[in-house]
Each structure stands twice: as structure tokens, then as C-alpha cells.
Amino acid sequence: MGAVLSSGKTKGQREREKWRRHVARQYDGGHHKTAGIRYRRPYLAPERIEDRMAELEKVEGQEKKLRYMNIYGENDHEKYPDLDTYYSTTKDIPRRLVVQATPEAQKDTRDRHWGHSKINGNIPFVVRLAEFCLNPFRFERYDGGFVDEDDEKAEEIRRKKMSVGCRIVQTTVHLIASTICTLAFAWIIQLMLSFQVITAPWNDSGAADSYDFYENVHWEWPRHAVNMLDQSPENTKPQTTVTKLMIPRRLVVKDESTGKWVVRKTDNLRDKHTGMLQPYVFLSFSRANFPKVRDEELRPFFYRVAEGVLKYENELRDARDPPVEAFWVDMDCVASEPPTVVQNGVKRNIIISPDSEMTKDINSICDAVRCAKRVYVVLPSDDSESKRTWGQRIWTLPEVLLAAEKTRYCISPFTATPEDHEMQINNVLLTDMYHSFWAGHPSRYHLTGHEEDHEDAITHLVNHYTNKTKLSELQLFTFAIQALAQLTSGSGTRGESTVELAYAAMGLLAYRLTPDIDEDVFQAVARLSLVNDSNQLLERLLCLWPGYGDPEEQRQLQAAGGYKLASSDKLLRNIADRDQYSVHLWDINPLCDVVGIGNDPFTPTVITDRCRGIPIRWKKFPRMRYAQDLASFRTTLSQTVVYVGAWFFLTALGLLSTAVSFAMANNTSSSRDLKISVGSYLYGTAIYVGVGWAISWFSPLAVRQLCHGGSSRVACHLVGFEGTMTLREIEKEIYGNYNARLSYAASSSIFSKSLRHRSLRVGIEPRDEDGEPMGSHYWKEQRTKLNIPKSHRLFTIVDTGDMTVTVIAAERPPVVALICGREGGMVRSLLCSWRFETNCLYRECVVRMRSSLEDQATPNDWLKISLASQGEVSETRRLFQEKEFPLPPQSVKVPAVHSVTA
């Protein structure tokens, strides 16, 4: 009772109420200031605050502030989880994210989890003043600097549309205003440089500032690791068992004394002289073909089928071969299912030990197929529906692939009595089975116009196991996972949503998993990939950017609640397909290593090593530093104009101070010479001021030339903002003037396809018929064309290192670019958001960047990366909470495998 006060609330309840008030303040939608920037906080209705808190909870019952441990092992910084955060590279702590946004983006009423402000340019004062003097009305034709071919065409069209009188008036007004502003304000540039009030935004070092450092590290143990020393001390089990062919432990044979079918252990069925196991047939069936039929009713049926099958086999066997008198069927040869319990209204199996007989039997079904003399597919009828029903089960595909050319199928109606039992047996090739058992296999692209990017995984597997083609280990693994993910393991249970996918695929591979009763489907597949040396599949999967799929299909899947893991459909159902950049998994060359698998609810996470990172700035544009070697005549002359004019002003100031001193001394002296000297100094001061003022008339042009001349070597940053702007607008916000510095990256994002020059490998700006840059309506059309989900926003990333602009679509603004792979002459960069409470980076987008960026990025040790975005994880969690789904595997223990051969 000590924890309960008179208010009746426990300490935990009081802490949670305090956290709730804190989160509500951060989502008040009001205006605030941070680091001198006025921004607006996001807004959430009071009734939705609890939902946001549930999303932010690291563990159930979390109430206190959380600590973050930085790269130095310091964890003295604590804060409540609230808004999205970024890792401050200057203070080594998490800070709330503020994103600058265009006026149109600020009008977006969709939920945000970050603050937003107007576009904040950080242009040096002398540059802004110089541009004001040269172009006070900001007419585009007087921006000066380099003008590319497209700008010339646009200007020509504008000139034709404008009357001669309007052009004359515009030119006259511009010249008058520019002259007045130059005469009135240009001297301020030289005066401020003279007094060193500001530092010149250029230097003569000839080198540009490098990208900011990004250093982070994940301190927690992974759930599974490549090396056991990197696993949690509580997890001491190896992840694999050495591959070996396992003989089935049980077979069904006829009792010699009674003549009835009985189950016998294979140890008692071996030949006394040779020790060999007698030949047997394998009966494969799908329980979905026999709905609502219990095992007690199915058993006599399969005994009758076995009688006919064995008779048929023995009639065709060679006289020198031993007779076939045994068969394998799962209901007799797999240990009985364990008892069940009810948890949260859901029926569940009691935990099966990894060493239990049932687990061993199920995980060795593939060996029972390999050892069988023949595999028979048992169907109740010969119609196409029965065949497709059998083919849709997750366990039947590996069975016939391993059986290859020793497969037959038999038709036997279940309603037949022993007296009129008839059976039809057909020889069938694996290639023929594809057309009858998997005909019309649905493509997830059939509604999106991208069906050509869809790989028919089952066809590739059939060709491989019939020796028509040879798949690599990586291709075999990916095609097997994709094929099984598109099948089912039970009524309403999709392949990509169940851990059984990994255990079904395991039979096709060399190494077996040590069963883990708590893992989810991604953890199982990832572990299976690691132990089978699948040529760095996980590292490649990190860099893959799958298609969005059909929106209606996604809504149906979400409504059905088929997923317990975020993004499992994108990760597994199309793992072998081309991604949005038309690249297969095996076309990517990893530049990092996956050293472990994470353990986060609803989230597919991996632990990586050797990732290189560059932070992305969102709060405001950084102040540019122009690197200038002053080698050319123009830049030398421009700097001479700026500093010579400043020298005249300084000299005038010196003369004036001397004159003042003499004037003060003249009050105490009657010397006539001193009075004459004061006048001379005043005349000299006026002359120097006049000359300096005259020279200052050229200082705006000199400043523009100095900034333009160094445009190829400015400070390197990745800077982002929400929304889109024209290149001219972006350039003016960053540099203060326009010189056609920026261009769209030629092949960096999915939007680049329509922004490429016809002959040169450069990006071009989208323009309308009049040659004018197209605005937001163009990007809206591209959203629809590229099937961008409605939950995604458009963000613009500017790389000032190579002067390129990239537009991306993401749910949240990414705060770091991680270089993880290479393909096609460019590197693959993961643009990730971050949550400090789990120290997890969430993949929001994948883009392609220039290869030279790899050496300029900061290498990192262990980082935890989620292959799903924050929005996908939150949506999955919400669906489970709304529909009262069972807790994820990390919270409720379920058996590693809880169903047998379909």
C-alpha cells in the first residue's frame, strides 16, 4: 500500500499520467521556437494520445523517461518518447525532429509526428545584399550567372509573349531600381567586410567541407547471431544442425498375424542381413480436400488407397526388386499433436520442445520424401479445383519438388465404400503438374501494369529440380521463399504470415534450423538464410526496394488481418521479383554485413556491421562555404574589387580618426599648421570615401562572381525539406542566387525515370509546353502513375556535394542515409528514420547514389535496421490491438511448427 497515495493512483499510474501530459503538449499543434527557428508542433486529438503512447511503448507498462546510450557508452541523457527524433551528431543525443516544409506541404492535414517550419534559407548577408542590389524585383531574366539551354528556351518564349512596350518598361524599372539600390546600399558590403563584422562566405583553400559525421552503435544483444559469441549469454544453442539424411522413424505395414495395417518403427523393419530399410511409398494429401473429416474417418480411407497403390507398384516392379509393402502417411507417421489451451479466446498448442518427437517428424518430412520409392498425390476427384487445393498448401510443394520424376497421383472418391472402391492412378511429370496443380497462379502485379516484373517462382523451381536449368544457391532460396509465401498453411493462413514457411523451405536446403518456439516468420527465414550461406541474402534484401503492389489488395489483406509482422508481404511474397529499380536480389553487391537478427515485436530487424552513414539535415539549410582557389582572372579581379574598396574605407577611417585627434589637440594649441593639417586630413578622408564608394558600385557583381565561380566546390551536405520546389527556387534558398548549379539526379529514385536527358546521363527539370518548370501538379501526376500509397509524402533531398536533387516518397522524413550495397555502377542507400528508445533505424526509402559517396560517408559498427517503415510497424500493431489478435511471438510462446503435411 506504500505505493498508493490518497489519490488512489499507484506510482506507475502517476508516471504514466505525467508521460501522457507530456505527449499531449508535444501534439498541441501550437507554434514554438527551437534554436532560433519558429516551428509548429503536430496536432493529435486528445482521444488519440493513448494510441500514440501505445505506439511509442518499448515494453508493456513503460511509464518513465528512457535513457539513450551513445557511442561512448554514456547514458546520462533521458527523455520521454514523443515526437520523431534524430541523432544529433554535435551533441551525441536524440533531439526532436523539425522539418522545413513548402507552403503547400504545410497545408497537408494528415497526421505528422514531427514539427514543421517554413523553408529557412541560411544565405550570407553580403550575398543577399548583393542580389538585392542587382535584382531588387527578382525578375528571372536578371538573375545573372549561367543559363542552360532549357532556361534560354523558356526565356525566349516569355519574350515572345511579352509585348515590346512591357519589355521596355520592365527593363527601365529594373535599371533604375538596381542603380538606386547599388548607390544606396552596396557600400555596406565593403564596410562590413572592412570591420570584419561578418566572415566572407568564400575562402582560398581550394577544398570543400566534407559531409557531417554520423556515428551510432547498437548495444543490445541480437536474438540470433552469426557467431555464438555475439548472441545473448542466455542463448547458448547453435542455430543449425549438420545436414544428414534422416530415415523416417515410422512406417505403416501389414501385421503378419492379423493382416491389419499397423504402425511400426523403422528400426524393426530393416533387413536382418543387409540392414536396409524396405521400400515404401509416400502418400501426400491436403486436408483442405477433405473438409470437416476427422483422422478417424480418413485413416480407413487411406488404408484402402494404400492397398491399391502398393498393388499397382508391385505389378510394375522389376522381378529382381524387393516388393513394396509399406507406406508413409502423416496421420500415422508423425507423432500426435500436443494438447491445446485457450489464450485470449484463441486455441493454441501447448509448447512443443525442439527435441520432441513431433517436431523431429515434421522437420524430417523432406527426408521421408527423398527415401521413398514413389510419391503419390491423393485426390478425392480429378477436377481442377481439387488439384489447385492440393497445390495451394505450403507443405505439398517441397514434397513434389524433392520427388521430381518419381511422382504419381491417384484419384479415389472419399465417399466410396470398401465394396465399390475404385481408384485411378496416373503417371505425371513435374512439368505437367505445374499446368494442372498451379495453373492460373495469381500475380500480385496483374492490376498494376507491372506483371512483366513478376517472377514465376514455381516454374523456376520445377525447371531446377527437373535439371532443365541450374539455379544458384541464392536464387534457389529466394524462389523457394517466394513460392511458399504465396501458398497457405491452413484456412486463412497465408504463407508469408506463418513461421511454417521457413520450416517448409528448410527441406530444400542443406542445413536445418534448430527450432525456436518464439520466433516470427522473418526471424526464421533470416536465420535459415544465415545458416545456409545463401550468398548474403539478408544484406541484399536490405538494399532491395520492393514495389508497392495493388492498393486494393493491400487494403484487403490489412482488413483480413493476415499479418503478424510488418511488411511481411513485401519482404517475402515478392523477394525474387524485380524491385522498383528493375533489379533482382542477386544483382546487388552488399557493402555491409548482417551479423545478427533483432528481436522486436511486429518488426523485421537485422543487426548490421560496416554500414556507412551520412546525416540528413531537415531543420534549415546550412550556410554554404564556397571554396575558391582564385586562379582565374575574373575571380581575382572580383576579390580585388571587394577588398580594395574595403581598404579605401579603412584608410578613410584612419584619416578621419587622425583628423579628430588633431582637432582635439587644436583646442589646446594655437599652432596654425595643425589647423591646416586637420583640413587636409578631412579632404583626404572625403577623397578615400568617394573612391571607396565608387568602387563599391561594383561589389555586388564581384560578390556574385565569387559565389558563382566556386559553385562546384561548396560545403557538402544532405539537406531535405517536405514538398517540392523548382530548381531555381531551391537554388535561391540555398545559395542566394541562381547559376543553374542544381540538377535532378539522373537515376537515383523512382521519379528519375521521367527526368533523364535523352543523350547525356544527367537529370532534367520537368517543364510545360512554354518551357516553364512544372510545379506541384506534375508531382501529383507522378504519384498516381507510380502507384505511391496515400500514406506517403513527397520529400526533396539536396546533395550539395554533387549539386543534385532527388525527390522521394516516404511516410516519415528519413534522418540518415546508410550506404549498404552497390549495383549498376551506383551505391544503394537506405534512407532511415530513427527511434531512440529502441535505437532502431527504420527503412523509409531506398535510393541510388554516386559511388564516390562511399568513401566520404562515416563507417559504423553495429546498427539495428528495420526492413519495415515506422508507419508499417504502427499499422500492424494497431490492427492487432483493434481486432484483439493474439500477441506476437515475443510475448506468447507458440510451437515452432504446429501443423503437419497438408
Alpha-carbon gap, residue 112 to 129, rounded angstroms: 36
Q: Which residue has the higher pLDDT, 303 or 880?
A: 303
In the three-class reduction of DSSP (H, G, I as helix; E, B as strand; rest coil), residue 601 is classed as coil
Nearest CA-CA partner of 898 in 358, 481, 328, 497? 358
Q: How confident is the model at residue 3 (pLDDT cuts 50, 70, 90)?
A: very low
Q: What are phi and psi of 360, to 5 degrees?
A: -65, -40
Angle at CA of residue 494, ends 490 and 499, nearest 5°: 85
pLDDT of residue 681: 76
Residue 488 cell numbers, joined: 497457405
Residue 300 cell numbers, joined: 480407413
Residue 55 and residue 49 in contact, taking contact as beta carbons nearer than 8 Å = no
Alpha-carbon gap, residue 227 to 862, rounded angstroms: 14
Strand extents, DSSP E, 509-553? 512-513
| Amino acid at position 365, single letter | I
Strand extents, DSSP E, 291-339? 326-328
Q: Which residues, 6+ apart, have CB-to-CB distance to 422 below 8 Å?
A: 412, 413, 416
Fill in the DSSP letter of residue 515: P
Comparing 143-157, 461-475, 718-732, 790-804, which segment has the lowest mean pLDDT?
143-157
Residues 31-58: what's their mean pLDDT?
A: 89
Sort 317 into a burial class: Cβ within 10 Å, 0-12 / 13-18 / 19+. Answer: middle
> What SS3 string covers 435-491?
HHHCCCCCCCCCCCCCHHHCCCHHHHHHHHHCCCCCCCHHHHHHHHHHHHHCCEEEC
Q: Which residue has the higher pLDDT, 554 or 683?
A: 683
Sort 408 into a burial class: Cβ within 10 Å, 0-12 / 13-18 / 19+. Answer: middle
Half-sphere exposure of 434 (CA within 13 A, CB side): 16
Alpha-carbon gap, residue 332 to 8, rounded angstroms: 59
Q: Which residue has the higher pLDDT, 59 or 221?
A: 221
Q: How confident is the model at residue 902 (pLDDT cuts 50, 70, 90)?
A: very low
Task: Kindly give the interhelix angle for 699-709 and 125-134, rounded to the nearest 10 degrees.
Answer: 120
Q: Which residue has the higher pLDDT, 535 or 417?
A: 535
Nearest CA-CA partner of 97 in 35, 18, 155, 45? 35
Q: How confident is the model at residue 245 (pLDDT cuts 50, 70, 90)?
A: low
Could you please report the per-residue DSSP string of 567-598?
THIIIIITTTS--TTS--GGG-EESSEEEEE-
**pLDDT of 901 above 50:** no
Alpha-carbon gap, residue 205 to 714, rounded angstroms: 12
46-50, 127-131, 560-564, 681-685, range with greatest mean pLDDT: 46-50
**pLDDT of 345 above 70:** no
Alpha-carbon gap, residue 39 to 41, rounded angstroms: 7
Q: How confident is the model at residue 709 (pLDDT cuts 50, 70, 90)?
A: low
Comparing 342-351, 475-484, 602-611, 768-777, which segment has the lowest mean pLDDT?
342-351
Q: How confident is the model at residue 880 (pLDDT cuts 50, 70, 90)?
A: confident
The 10s digit of each residue's pLDDT in 15-29 is: 889 999 999 999 999
Strand extents, DSSP E, 811-874? 816-823, 826-835, 840-849, 858-859, 863-866
Residues 372-380: what's their mean pLDDT?
A: 94
Q: What b/e sequence results for 494-508 when a residue is b if at least 16 CB atoms lie within 10 Å of its CB, and e otherwise?
A: bbbbbbbbbbbbbbb
pLDDT of residue 320: 86
pLDDT of residue 898: 34
Maximal CA-CA distance, the chain: 148
pLDDT above 70 covers what percent of the chain? Answer: 81
pLDDT of residue 590: 97
The 10s digit of each residue's pLDDT in 786-821 is: 999 999 999 999 999 889 999 999 999 999 999 999
Q: Which residues, 6+ apart, have CB-to-CB distance to 244 below 8 Å?
A: none
pLDDT of residue 196: 47
Strand extents, DSSP E, 143-246? 202-203, 224-225, 240-241
Q: How confident is the model at residue 448 (pLDDT cuts 50, 70, 90)?
A: very low
The 10s digit of each residue's pLDDT in 271-280 is: 887 888 889 9
**pLDDT of 831 above 80:** yes
Alpha-carbon gap, residue 629 to 709, rounded angstroms: 9
Sort 774 into a burial class: Cβ within 10 Å, 0-12 / 13-18 / 19+. Answer: middle
In the three-class reduction of DSSP (H, G, I as helix; E, B as strand; rest coil), residue 802 is classed as coil
**pLDDT of 553 above 80:** no
Tell me the pLDDT of the chain averaged across its residues. Answer: 83
Q: Which residue has the higher pLDDT, 139 or 798?
A: 798
Neighbours of 490 (CB within 10 A): 15
Residue 776 cell numbers, joined: 506541384
Neighbours of 463 (CB within 10 A): 17
Q: Which residue has the higher pLDDT, 484 or 335?
A: 484
**pLDDT of 105 above 70:** yes
The 10s digit of each residue's pLDDT in 652-705 is: 888 888 777 777 776 666 555 545 567 777 888 888 888 888 888 888 888 887
pTM above 0.85, yes or no: yes
Residue 813 and residue 577 in contact, taking contact as beta carbons nearer than 8 Å = no
Alpha-carbon gap, residue 506 to 525, rounded angstroms: 9
Give the position of cell 546525416. 615
pLDDT of residue 6: 46
In the three-class reduction of DSSP (H, G, I as helix; E, B as strand; rest coil), residue 116 is classed as strand
Residue 9 cell numbers, joined: 493512483
pLDDT above 90 covers what percent of the chain? Answer: 38
pLDDT of residue 162: 76
Comparing 91-95, 324-328, 701-705, which segment has the lowest mean pLDDT?
701-705
Alpha-carbon gap, residue 52 to 62, rounded angstroms: 13
Half-sphere exposure of 7 (CA within 13 A, CB side): 8
Q: What are phi and psi of 886, to 5 degrees?
A: -60, 155
